[in-house]
Structure 1
Protein backbone atom coordinates (compact mmCIF):
# COMPACT_ATOMS: atom_id res chain seq x y z
CA UNK A 1 0.00 0.00 0.00
CA UNK A 2 2.79 2.42 0.93
CA UNK A 3 4.72 1.69 -2.24
CA UNK A 4 1.64 2.19 -4.44
CA UNK A 5 0.87 5.52 -2.75
CA UNK A 6 4.44 6.74 -3.17
CA UNK A 7 4.51 5.76 -6.84
CA UNK A 8 1.18 7.46 -7.56
CA UNK A 9 2.24 10.71 -5.86
CA UNK A 10 5.53 10.82 -7.76
CA UNK A 11 3.77 10.16 -11.09
CA UNK A 12 1.30 12.99 -10.46
CA UNK A 13 4.05 15.47 -9.61
CA UNK A 14 6.14 14.38 -12.58
CA UNK A 15 3.17 14.90 -14.93
CA UNK A 16 2.83 18.46 -13.69
CA UNK A 17 6.50 19.20 -14.32
CA UNK A 18 6.62 17.41 -17.65
CA UNK A 19 3.74 19.57 -18.96
CA UNK A 20 5.81 22.75 -18.53
CA UNK A 21 7.75 23.97 -21.59
CA UNK A 22 11.53 23.48 -21.52
CA UNK A 23 13.43 26.18 -23.39
CA UNK A 24 17.00 25.80 -22.17
CA UNK A 25 19.35 23.32 -20.59
CA UNK A 26 19.03 25.35 -17.41
CA UNK A 27 15.29 24.64 -17.36
CA UNK A 28 16.00 20.96 -17.87
CA UNK A 29 18.44 20.98 -14.95
CA UNK A 30 15.87 22.76 -12.76
CA UNK A 31 13.21 20.18 -13.59
CA UNK A 32 15.65 17.34 -12.86
CA UNK A 33 16.53 18.88 -9.51
CA UNK A 34 12.86 19.38 -8.68
CA UNK A 35 11.99 15.78 -9.58
CA UNK A 36 14.84 14.45 -7.45
CA UNK A 37 13.70 16.62 -4.58
CA UNK A 38 10.15 15.30 -4.81
CA UNK A 39 11.29 11.70 -4.93
CA UNK A 40 13.59 12.17 -1.94
CA UNK A 41 10.89 13.94 0.06
CA UNK A 42 8.39 11.17 -0.69
CA UNK A 43 10.94 8.46 0.16
CA UNK A 44 11.72 10.15 3.46
CA UNK A 45 8.03 10.52 4.37
CA UNK A 46 7.31 6.87 3.68
CA UNK A 47 10.52 5.71 5.33
CA UNK A 48 9.51 7.52 8.53
CA UNK A 49 5.97 6.15 8.31
CA UNK A 50 7.16 2.56 7.87
CA UNK A 51 9.73 2.93 10.65
CA UNK A 52 6.92 3.75 13.11
CA UNK A 53 4.98 0.55 12.40
CA UNK A 54 4.54 -1.67 15.43
CA UNK A 55 6.09 -5.11 14.87
CA UNK A 56 4.11 -8.21 15.84
CA UNK A 57 4.86 -9.88 19.19
CA UNK A 58 8.00 -11.99 19.08
CA UNK A 59 7.15 -15.64 18.39
CA UNK A 60 9.47 -18.62 18.68
CA UNK A 61 9.30 -21.48 16.17
CA UNK A 62 7.67 -24.70 17.40
CA UNK A 63 10.22 -27.10 18.88
CA UNK A 64 12.34 -28.79 17.58
CA UNK A 65 12.57 -26.36 14.62
CA UNK A 66 15.31 -23.72 14.79
CA UNK A 67 15.81 -20.59 12.71
CA UNK A 68 18.45 -20.79 9.99
CA UNK A 69 21.18 -18.23 10.70
CA UNK A 70 21.07 -15.32 8.25
CA UNK A 71 17.67 -16.27 6.85
CA UNK A 72 16.33 -12.71 7.18
CA UNK A 73 19.02 -11.48 4.79
CA UNK A 74 18.73 -14.34 2.31
CA UNK A 75 16.04 -16.16 0.33
CA UNK A 76 16.83 -19.73 1.33
CA UNK A 77 15.48 -21.92 4.14
CA UNK A 78 13.99 -20.24 7.22
CA UNK A 79 13.54 -23.22 9.55
CA UNK A 80 15.46 -26.47 9.93
CA UNK A 81 15.29 -29.59 12.07
CA UNK A 82 16.32 -33.23 12.09
CA UNK A 83 13.95 -36.19 12.23
CA UNK A 84 15.84 -39.41 12.76
CA UNK A 85 18.45 -39.42 9.99
CA UNK A 86 16.52 -36.85 7.94
CA UNK A 87 17.25 -33.15 7.57
CA UNK A 88 14.17 -31.00 7.02
CA UNK A 89 14.38 -27.45 5.68
CA UNK A 90 11.48 -25.06 5.21
CA UNK A 91 11.45 -22.03 2.93
CA UNK A 92 8.49 -19.64 3.00
CA UNK A 93 7.01 -16.76 1.07
CA UNK A 94 3.58 -15.20 0.71
CA UNK A 95 1.31 -16.88 -1.80
CA UNK A 96 0.40 -13.42 -3.18
CA UNK A 97 4.05 -13.03 -4.25
CA UNK A 98 3.49 -15.97 -6.61
CA UNK A 99 -0.15 -15.44 -7.56
CA UNK A 100 -1.01 -11.72 -7.23
CA UNK A 101 -4.32 -11.21 -5.46
CA UNK A 102 -6.91 -8.60 -6.26
CA UNK A 103 -6.78 -5.54 -4.03
CA UNK A 104 -9.96 -6.65 -2.24
CA UNK A 105 -8.30 -9.99 -1.42
CA UNK A 106 -5.02 -8.47 -0.21
CA UNK A 107 -5.84 -8.90 3.50
CA UNK A 108 -6.77 -12.56 3.03
CA UNK A 109 -3.58 -13.02 1.03
CA UNK A 110 -1.54 -12.10 4.09
CA UNK A 111 -2.84 -15.29 5.73
CA UNK A 112 -1.83 -17.54 2.84
CA UNK A 113 1.77 -18.71 2.93
CA UNK A 114 3.64 -20.89 0.46
CA UNK A 115 6.04 -23.51 1.85
CA UNK A 116 8.89 -25.32 0.17
CA UNK A 117 9.60 -28.34 2.40
CA UNK A 118 12.79 -30.25 1.61
CA UNK A 119 13.43 -33.65 3.24
CA UNK A 120 16.89 -35.13 2.64
CA UNK A 121 18.90 -38.11 3.91
CA UNK A 122 22.67 -38.57 4.10
CA UNK A 123 24.11 -40.53 1.20
CA UNK A 124 21.03 -39.96 -0.97
CA UNK A 125 21.51 -38.05 -4.22
CA UNK A 126 17.91 -36.81 -4.21
CA UNK A 127 15.64 -35.18 -1.67
CA UNK A 128 11.87 -35.24 -1.26
CA UNK A 129 10.23 -31.92 -2.09
CA UNK A 130 6.78 -30.79 -0.92
CA UNK A 131 5.14 -27.57 -2.12
CA UNK A 132 2.45 -26.60 0.37
CA UNK A 133 0.03 -23.85 1.23
CA UNK A 134 0.07 -22.89 4.92
CA UNK A 135 -2.93 -21.26 6.58
CA UNK A 136 -3.78 -20.38 10.21
CA UNK A 137 -5.79 -23.60 10.56
CA UNK A 138 -4.52 -26.00 7.88
CA UNK A 139 -1.78 -27.20 5.55
CA UNK A 140 -2.62 -27.84 1.90
CA UNK A 141 -0.30 -29.91 -0.29
CA UNK A 142 0.13 -28.80 -3.90
CA UNK A 143 2.72 -31.31 -5.08
CA UNK A 144 5.21 -33.99 -4.04
CA UNK A 145 8.32 -34.75 -6.10
CA UNK A 146 11.93 -35.88 -6.04
CA UNK A 147 14.77 -33.55 -6.97
CA UNK A 148 18.53 -33.76 -7.17
CA UNK A 149 20.27 -32.24 -4.15
CA UNK A 150 22.66 -30.37 -6.43
CA UNK A 151 19.84 -28.34 -7.99
CA UNK A 152 19.58 -24.71 -6.98
CA UNK A 153 17.18 -24.33 -4.07
CA UNK A 154 14.32 -21.89 -4.27
CA UNK A 155 10.78 -21.66 -5.57
CA UNK A 156 11.44 -21.85 -9.31
CA UNK A 157 12.69 -25.26 -10.31
CA UNK A 158 13.06 -26.68 -13.80
CA UNK A 159 12.00 -30.35 -13.69
CA UNK A 160 14.54 -32.68 -15.22
CA UNK A 161 12.34 -35.77 -15.10
CA UNK A 162 8.80 -36.92 -14.42
CA UNK A 163 7.58 -35.37 -11.17
CA UNK A 164 4.67 -37.73 -10.56
CA UNK A 165 0.92 -37.05 -10.64
CA UNK A 166 -0.60 -33.89 -9.22
CA UNK A 167 -1.55 -34.25 -5.58
CA UNK A 168 -5.23 -33.80 -6.35
CA UNK A 169 -5.13 -36.81 -8.68
CA UNK A 170 -4.06 -39.16 -5.87
CA UNK A 171 -6.67 -41.23 -4.09
CA UNK A 172 -7.84 -40.16 -0.63
CA UNK A 173 -5.95 -42.93 1.15
CA UNK A 174 -2.61 -41.81 -0.29
CA UNK A 175 -3.43 -38.13 0.33
CA UNK A 176 -4.11 -38.90 4.01
CA UNK A 177 -0.87 -40.88 4.24
CA UNK A 178 1.19 -38.01 2.81
CA UNK A 179 -0.46 -35.51 5.16
CA UNK A 180 0.42 -37.87 8.02
CA UNK A 181 4.02 -38.03 6.81
CA UNK A 182 4.32 -34.25 7.01
CA UNK A 183 2.51 -34.01 10.35
CA UNK A 184 4.93 -36.54 11.86
CA UNK A 185 7.75 -34.17 10.85
CA UNK A 186 6.07 -31.12 12.36
CA UNK A 187 4.72 -29.57 9.15
CA UNK A 188 1.41 -28.38 10.57
CA UNK A 189 -0.53 -25.16 11.08
CA UNK A 190 1.47 -24.67 14.31
CA UNK A 191 4.19 -23.16 12.09
CA UNK A 192 1.91 -20.35 10.92
CA UNK A 193 2.26 -17.83 13.82
CA UNK A 194 6.05 -17.86 13.66
CA UNK A 195 6.34 -17.76 9.87
CA UNK A 196 3.72 -15.00 9.60
CA UNK A 197 5.63 -12.87 12.12
CA UNK A 198 8.97 -13.72 10.48
CA UNK A 199 7.70 -12.60 7.07
CA UNK A 200 6.44 -9.34 8.56
CA UNK A 201 9.89 -8.58 9.94
CA UNK A 202 11.56 -9.54 6.65
CA UNK A 203 9.14 -7.50 4.53
CA UNK A 204 9.55 -4.51 6.86
CA UNK A 205 13.34 -4.74 6.71
CA UNK A 206 13.41 -5.10 2.91
CA UNK A 207 11.07 -2.14 2.44
CA UNK A 208 13.21 0.05 4.69
CA UNK A 209 16.31 -1.01 2.73
CA UNK A 210 14.53 -0.21 -0.53
CA UNK A 211 13.72 3.34 0.55
CA UNK A 212 17.32 3.88 1.69
CA UNK A 213 18.97 2.41 -1.41
CA UNK A 214 16.84 4.48 -3.83
CA UNK A 215 17.54 7.64 -1.84
CA UNK A 216 21.26 6.94 -1.70
CA UNK A 217 21.42 6.38 -5.45
CA UNK A 218 19.61 9.64 -6.23
CA UNK A 219 21.71 11.76 -3.85
CA UNK A 220 25.05 10.21 -4.77
CA UNK A 221 27.13 12.69 -6.78
CA UNK A 222 28.76 11.69 -10.05
CA UNK A 223 32.47 11.06 -9.98
CA UNK A 224 34.60 13.71 -11.67
Structure 2
Protein backbone atom coordinates (compact mmCIF):
# COMPACT_ATOMS: atom_id res chain seq x y z
CA UNK A 1 0.00 0.00 0.00
CA UNK A 2 3.03 2.23 0.33
CA UNK A 3 5.05 3.94 -2.35
CA UNK A 4 7.52 6.66 -1.50
CA UNK A 5 7.91 9.47 -3.97
CA UNK A 6 10.91 11.79 -4.06
CA UNK A 7 10.61 15.00 -6.08
CA UNK A 8 13.41 17.59 -5.98
CA UNK A 9 12.10 21.08 -5.31
CA UNK A 10 14.26 24.15 -5.89
CA UNK A 11 11.93 26.25 -3.76
CA UNK A 12 12.25 23.72 -0.95
CA UNK A 13 16.06 23.75 -1.19
CA UNK A 14 16.11 27.55 -1.04
CA UNK A 15 13.76 27.42 1.93
CA UNK A 16 16.05 25.06 3.85
CA UNK A 17 19.08 27.15 2.95
CA UNK A 18 17.45 30.21 4.47
CA UNK A 19 16.08 28.38 7.49
CA UNK A 20 19.46 26.81 8.38
CA UNK A 21 21.79 29.61 7.36
CA UNK A 22 23.98 30.77 10.20
CA UNK A 23 24.03 34.25 11.62
CA UNK A 24 26.42 36.78 10.11
CA UNK A 25 30.01 36.34 11.28
CA UNK A 26 32.89 38.67 11.87
CA UNK A 27 32.45 40.82 14.95
CA UNK A 28 35.05 43.22 16.28
CA UNK A 29 36.91 42.91 19.53
CA UNK A 30 34.73 43.18 22.57
CA UNK A 31 35.29 46.21 24.68
CA UNK A 32 35.53 46.25 28.41
CA UNK A 33 32.10 47.89 28.70
CA UNK A 34 29.42 45.14 28.97
CA UNK A 35 26.71 47.48 27.69
CA UNK A 36 28.78 48.31 24.62
CA UNK A 37 29.52 44.65 23.96
CA UNK A 38 25.84 43.77 24.28
CA UNK A 39 24.88 46.52 21.87
CA UNK A 40 27.32 45.18 19.26
CA UNK A 41 26.03 41.61 19.59
CA UNK A 42 22.40 42.74 19.49
CA UNK A 43 23.10 44.87 16.43
CA UNK A 44 24.66 41.92 14.58
CA UNK A 45 21.71 39.69 15.44
CA UNK A 46 19.14 42.30 14.42
CA UNK A 47 20.95 42.85 11.12
CA UNK A 48 20.96 39.10 10.43
CA UNK A 49 17.28 38.77 11.31
CA UNK A 50 16.41 41.66 9.01
CA UNK A 51 18.44 40.21 6.12
CA UNK A 52 16.75 36.82 6.49
CA UNK A 53 13.32 38.43 6.79
CA UNK A 54 13.82 40.37 3.56
CA UNK A 55 15.16 37.29 1.77
CA UNK A 56 12.23 35.13 2.82
CA UNK A 57 9.71 37.87 2.04
CA UNK A 58 10.92 37.91 -1.59
CA UNK A 59 10.28 34.19 -2.10
CA UNK A 60 7.46 33.51 -4.51
CA UNK A 61 4.64 31.34 -3.12
CA UNK A 62 3.63 28.24 -5.05
CA UNK A 63 0.77 28.54 -7.56
CA UNK A 64 -2.60 28.67 -5.86
CA UNK A 65 -4.17 25.22 -5.56
CA UNK A 66 -7.75 24.54 -4.57
CA UNK A 67 -8.66 21.48 -2.49
CA UNK A 68 -10.50 18.73 -4.34
CA UNK A 69 -14.26 19.04 -4.15
CA UNK A 70 -16.20 18.74 -1.89
CA UNK A 71 -13.53 19.62 0.72
CA UNK A 72 -13.49 23.23 1.86
CA UNK A 73 -10.80 25.21 3.67
CA UNK A 74 -11.56 26.01 7.31
CA UNK A 75 -11.50 29.76 7.91
CA UNK A 76 -8.47 30.91 9.86
CA UNK A 77 -6.63 27.59 9.47
CA UNK A 78 -3.38 29.29 8.45
CA UNK A 79 -3.21 31.05 11.81
CA UNK A 80 -4.24 28.15 14.01
CA UNK A 81 -3.20 24.60 14.87
CA UNK A 82 -6.62 23.17 14.10
CA UNK A 83 -8.00 21.28 11.12
CA UNK A 84 -7.31 22.51 7.60
CA UNK A 85 -10.08 20.91 5.54
CA UNK A 86 -13.57 19.65 6.18
CA UNK A 87 -16.44 18.08 4.30
CA UNK A 88 -19.65 16.21 4.95
CA UNK A 89 -20.32 12.68 3.83
CA UNK A 90 -23.94 11.80 4.45
CA UNK A 91 -24.39 12.56 8.15
CA UNK A 92 -20.66 12.33 8.83
CA UNK A 93 -18.28 15.26 9.17
CA UNK A 94 -14.73 14.70 7.96
CA UNK A 95 -11.96 16.95 9.36
CA UNK A 96 -8.33 16.84 8.25
CA UNK A 97 -5.28 18.05 10.17
CA UNK A 98 -1.87 18.08 8.47
CA UNK A 99 1.81 18.32 9.36
CA UNK A 100 5.02 17.27 7.66
CA UNK A 101 5.72 13.61 8.28
CA UNK A 102 9.42 14.41 8.80
CA UNK A 103 8.43 16.42 11.88
CA UNK A 104 6.72 13.40 13.44
CA UNK A 105 8.50 10.24 12.27
CA UNK A 106 12.11 10.21 11.17
CA UNK A 107 13.93 6.92 10.83
CA UNK A 108 17.66 6.50 11.08
CA UNK A 109 19.27 7.33 7.77
CA UNK A 110 16.29 9.30 6.44
CA UNK A 111 17.35 12.32 4.44
CA UNK A 112 15.09 15.32 5.13
CA UNK A 113 16.70 17.12 2.19
CA UNK A 114 15.07 14.57 -0.10
CA UNK A 115 11.80 13.61 1.49
CA UNK A 116 10.70 16.36 3.87
CA UNK A 117 8.55 18.21 1.36
CA UNK A 118 6.99 15.05 -0.10
CA UNK A 119 5.79 13.32 3.07
CA UNK A 120 2.77 14.65 4.91
CA UNK A 121 1.19 13.43 8.13
CA UNK A 122 -2.61 13.47 8.24
CA UNK A 123 -4.99 13.12 11.12
CA UNK A 124 -8.42 12.29 9.73
CA UNK A 125 -11.37 12.67 12.08
CA UNK A 126 -14.70 11.07 11.09
CA UNK A 127 -17.52 12.09 13.41
CA UNK A 128 -21.28 11.55 13.54
CA UNK A 129 -23.95 13.67 15.25
CA UNK A 130 -24.90 12.45 18.69
CA UNK A 131 -21.73 10.35 19.06
CA UNK A 132 -19.23 11.28 21.77
CA UNK A 133 -16.38 9.51 20.01
CA UNK A 134 -15.11 9.76 16.47
CA UNK A 135 -13.20 7.35 14.25
CA UNK A 136 -9.69 8.72 13.84
CA UNK A 137 -7.01 7.76 11.34
CA UNK A 138 -3.34 8.68 11.45
CA UNK A 139 -2.02 8.53 7.89
CA UNK A 140 1.04 9.23 5.78
CA UNK A 141 0.29 11.06 2.54
CA UNK A 142 2.58 11.04 -0.51
CA UNK A 143 2.17 12.50 -4.01
CA UNK A 144 0.96 9.14 -5.31
CA UNK A 145 -0.21 7.18 -2.26
CA UNK A 146 -1.82 7.25 1.16
CA UNK A 147 -0.93 4.82 3.95
CA UNK A 148 -2.68 4.32 7.28
CA UNK A 149 -0.55 4.20 10.45
CA UNK A 150 -3.33 3.60 12.96
CA UNK A 151 -7.08 3.61 13.52
CA UNK A 152 -8.69 4.42 16.86
CA UNK A 153 -11.91 5.48 18.55
CA UNK A 154 -11.33 8.64 20.55
CA UNK A 155 -13.27 11.62 21.92
CA UNK A 156 -13.96 14.19 19.25
CA UNK A 157 -11.03 16.56 18.86
CA UNK A 158 -10.97 20.33 18.50
CA UNK A 159 -7.21 20.92 18.49
CA UNK A 160 -4.19 19.45 16.74
CA UNK A 161 -2.43 18.68 20.04
CA UNK A 162 -4.45 15.50 20.46
CA UNK A 163 -4.41 14.95 16.73
CA UNK A 164 -0.68 14.61 16.24
CA UNK A 165 0.33 13.12 19.57
CA UNK A 166 -2.52 11.14 21.11
CA UNK A 167 -1.83 10.28 24.74
CA UNK A 168 -4.16 7.29 24.74
CA UNK A 169 -4.22 4.44 22.27
CA UNK A 170 -7.55 2.79 21.58
CA UNK A 171 -6.86 0.20 18.92
CA UNK A 172 -4.55 -2.55 17.67
CA UNK A 173 -1.36 -1.95 15.72
CA UNK A 174 -2.61 -1.39 12.20
CA UNK A 175 0.01 -3.65 10.61
CA UNK A 176 -1.14 -6.50 12.89
CA UNK A 177 -4.56 -6.51 11.24
CA UNK A 178 -5.07 -8.96 8.42
CA UNK A 179 -4.70 -7.70 4.87
CA UNK A 180 -8.43 -7.83 4.11
CA UNK A 181 -9.26 -5.54 7.05
CA UNK A 182 -6.41 -3.15 6.20
CA UNK A 183 -7.68 -2.92 2.63
CA UNK A 184 -11.21 -2.31 3.92
CA UNK A 185 -10.02 0.62 6.07
CA UNK A 186 -8.19 2.09 3.08
CA UNK A 187 -11.38 1.79 1.04
CA UNK A 188 -13.30 3.45 3.89
CA UNK A 189 -11.19 6.62 3.89
CA UNK A 190 -10.80 6.71 0.10
CA UNK A 191 -14.59 6.54 -0.29
CA UNK A 192 -14.70 9.73 1.77
CA UNK A 193 -12.21 11.48 -0.51
CA UNK A 194 -9.11 11.02 1.64
CA UNK A 195 -6.45 10.00 -0.87
CA UNK A 196 -3.43 11.30 -2.80
CA UNK A 197 -5.59 13.89 -4.59
CA UNK A 198 -5.29 15.99 -1.40
CA UNK A 199 -1.51 16.17 -1.67
CA UNK A 200 -1.04 19.14 -4.08
CA UNK A 201 -3.26 21.42 -2.03
CA UNK A 202 -1.91 20.38 1.38
CA UNK A 203 1.69 20.66 0.20
CA UNK A 204 1.09 24.21 -1.09
CA UNK A 205 -0.89 25.11 2.03
CA UNK A 206 1.94 24.00 4.33
CA UNK A 207 4.44 25.97 2.26
CA UNK A 208 2.39 29.14 2.75
CA UNK A 209 1.91 28.43 6.46
CA UNK A 210 5.65 27.77 6.97
CA UNK A 211 6.47 30.98 5.06
CA UNK A 212 4.08 33.01 7.21
CA UNK A 213 5.32 31.45 10.45
CA UNK A 214 8.96 32.05 9.56
CA UNK A 215 8.35 35.74 8.77
CA UNK A 216 6.41 36.08 12.02
CA UNK A 217 9.28 34.42 13.91
CA UNK A 218 11.91 36.78 12.50
CA UNK A 219 9.76 39.78 13.46
CA UNK A 220 8.94 38.58 16.98
CA UNK A 221 12.55 37.67 17.80
CA UNK A 222 13.73 41.02 16.41
CA UNK A 223 11.17 42.91 18.47
CA UNK A 224 12.25 41.05 21.60
CA UNK A 225 15.96 41.77 21.05
CA UNK A 226 15.30 45.43 20.22
CA UNK A 227 13.08 46.03 23.27
CA UNK A 228 15.00 47.81 26.04
> Could you tell me the TM-score, scaled by structure 1's length?
0.87
Paired residues in the alignment total 209
- Which residue of 2 is the match for residue 214 of structure 1? 221
Displacement of 1:22 in angstroms is 5.5
CA contact (8 A) 2:82 2:158 kept: no
Deviation sequence 1:11-60 (CA, Å, 0-9, x none):
x55xx66xx5654xxx2111100011100100011111101111100000
Q: Which stretch has the larger CA shift, 82-91 or 144-153?
A: 144-153
Q: Which has the higher contact order (CA 8 A, sep 6+)?
A: 2
CA contact (8 A) 2:23 2:45 kept: no
CA contact (8 A) 2:83 2:95 kept: yes
Q: Which runs of 5+ in 1 are unaligned?
A: none
User: Distance between the aligned counterparts of 1:73 and 1:31, measured in 2?
Assistant: 37
- Which residue of 1 is the match for residue 13 of structure 2? none
Deviation sequence 1:148-168 (CA, Å, 0-9, x none):
126854312211xx6221111
* 1:3 and 2:19 matched: yes
State which structure, 1 or 2, has the greater radius of gyration over its C-alpha atoms: 1
Displacement of 1:105 in angstroms is 3.2
Cα distance 1:145–1:103, how it changes in 2: closer, same or farther (>3 A)? closer
RMSD of Structure 2 on Structure 1 (CA): 1.9
- Which residue of 1 is the match for residue 100 of structure 2? 94
Q: Which of 48, 66, 76 is matched with 1:60 structurally?
A: 66
Cα distance 1:193–1:171, how it changes in 2: closer, same or farther (>3 A)? same
> Where do 1:67-82 residues align within 5 Å?
67-82=73-88
Deviation sequence 1:154-213 (CA, Å, 0-9, x none):
312211xx6221111111111111100001000010000000000000000000000001
Displacement of 1:218 in angstroms is 1.3
Deviation sequence 1:68-88 (CA, Å, 0-9, x none):
010000011000000000000
* 1:143 and 2:159 matched: no
User: Distance between the aligned counterparts of 1:110 and 1:127, measured in 2?
Assistant: 29
User: Distance between the aligned counterparts of 1:9 and 1:215, measured in 2?
Assistant: 13
Q: Which runs of 5+ in 2 are unaligned?
A: 1-15
* 1:156 and 2:165 matched: yes
CA contact (8 A) 1:75 1:154 kept: no
